Homo-oligomer: A and B are copies of this chain.
Amino acid sequence: MHDTRRLYQQIADRVRILIHDGRYAPGSRLPAERELAQQLGVSRPSLREALIALEIEGAIEIRMGSGIYVLSISKSASIASPLGESPMELMEARAAIESTVIVQAAGVITDETLVLLREILNSMRSEIEEGRKPIEQDRQFHLTIAELPGNAILARIVANLFDERHSPMSDRIRGRFETRQTWSIALAEHEIILAALEARNPLAAQAAMFSHLSASGRRWLEN
C-alpha cells in the first residue's frame, strides 16, 4: 500500500528526515531547489510546496538568491538526541505523552477513524506475515491517534519522538530488536488499544497505550 497523502507532505517528511538525521545540521545550507528536486525524484514545484510547509513550521529559512537554511533545533522542536537521552527515556517520554493524548482522543474519535485504525492494523498484520517491518503502519497508528485532539503541536511532538526511534543512531543501538515475534506482540498491543477506543473507554485506552509503550521500551532494551 503506497502513501496516499499529498506529495508535498511526503516530500516534507523526507526533508525533515534529512535534517533530523544530522545530514544537514542547523545553520547549514540544503542543496539548491533544482538539485534537491532531482535528488528526491520530484518536480521543482512540488518540492517548493513542501519547502513552504517546512518554512511555516519553522524548520527552515528560505533566502532568495542565497539558499535554503536549516534553523535551530528549538524552533523545530526537533529531537536531535544529545547525550544522556537513552532509548528507555525516549519510550518513557512517549508513554507519558501518548497516554495523555489518547484520553482526549478517545472522547472525540469518530467511527470513520476507528475504521481507518482497523485498516492500518490489518495492513500491519499483512506486512508482518510477509516478513516485512510494519514501521510505516506503526507510525500511522500512533500519529492518527495523536492528531485526534486537534492540537498540531502535540501531534508534531509525537511524530518527532516516533521518528527518533527509527533514526540511524537508534537503529545501531537497537540491533536485531525487531524480530517477527516482537512485531506480533506489538500488533496485539495495538489491538488492545483499538478495542479500548472502540469502547470509547478513555481510561482503558490510556492504560493500554502506557502499557504498550512501556513494554516496547523493555523489548528494545532486552535485545
Where the two chains meet, the residues of A that have a C-beta atom closer than 8 Å to any C-beta of B are 8, 45, 48-49, 52-53, 56-58, 73-75, 77, 79, 82-85, 89-90, 92-93, 96-97, 99-101, 104, 151-154, 156-157, 160-161, 163-164, 167
Q: Is the CB of B156 within 8 A of A85?
A: yes
Q: Is the CB of A56 within 8 A of B58?
A: no
Bound form: Cα–Cα A82–B157 in Å: 13
**Residues of chain B lying within 8 A (CB to CB) of residue A104:** 96
**Residues of chain B lying within 8 A (CB to CB) of residue A74:** 160, 163-164
**Residues of chain B lying within 8 A (CB to CB) of residue A156:** 85
Which residue of B49, B83, B92, B97 is within 8 Å of A97 (Cβ)?
Answer: B97
Q: Is the CB of A157 within 8 A of B93?
A: yes
**Residues of chain B lying within 8 A (CB to CB) of residue A164:** 74-75, 77
How many monomers of this chain does the complex have? 2
Q: Is the CB of B93 within 8 A of A151?
A: yes
**Residues of chain B lying within 8 A (CB to CB) of residue A151:** 89, 92-93, 96
Q: Is the CB of B93 within 8 A of A153?
A: yes
Q: Is the CB of A90 within 8 A of B157?
A: no
Q: Is the CB of A56 within 8 A of B84?
A: yes
18 A–B contact pairs at CB < 8 A? Answer: A48-B49, A49-B52, A52-B52, A52-B53, A56-B84, A74-B160, A74-B163, A77-B160, A79-B153, A82-B152, A90-B153, A93-B153, A96-B97, A96-B151, A96-B154, A97-B154, A97-B157, A153-B161
Q: Is the CB of A153 within 8 A of B85?
A: yes
Nearest CB of B to A185, in Å: 24
Bound form: Cα–Cα A129–B152 in Å: 37
Which chain B residue shows the least CB distance to A160? B77
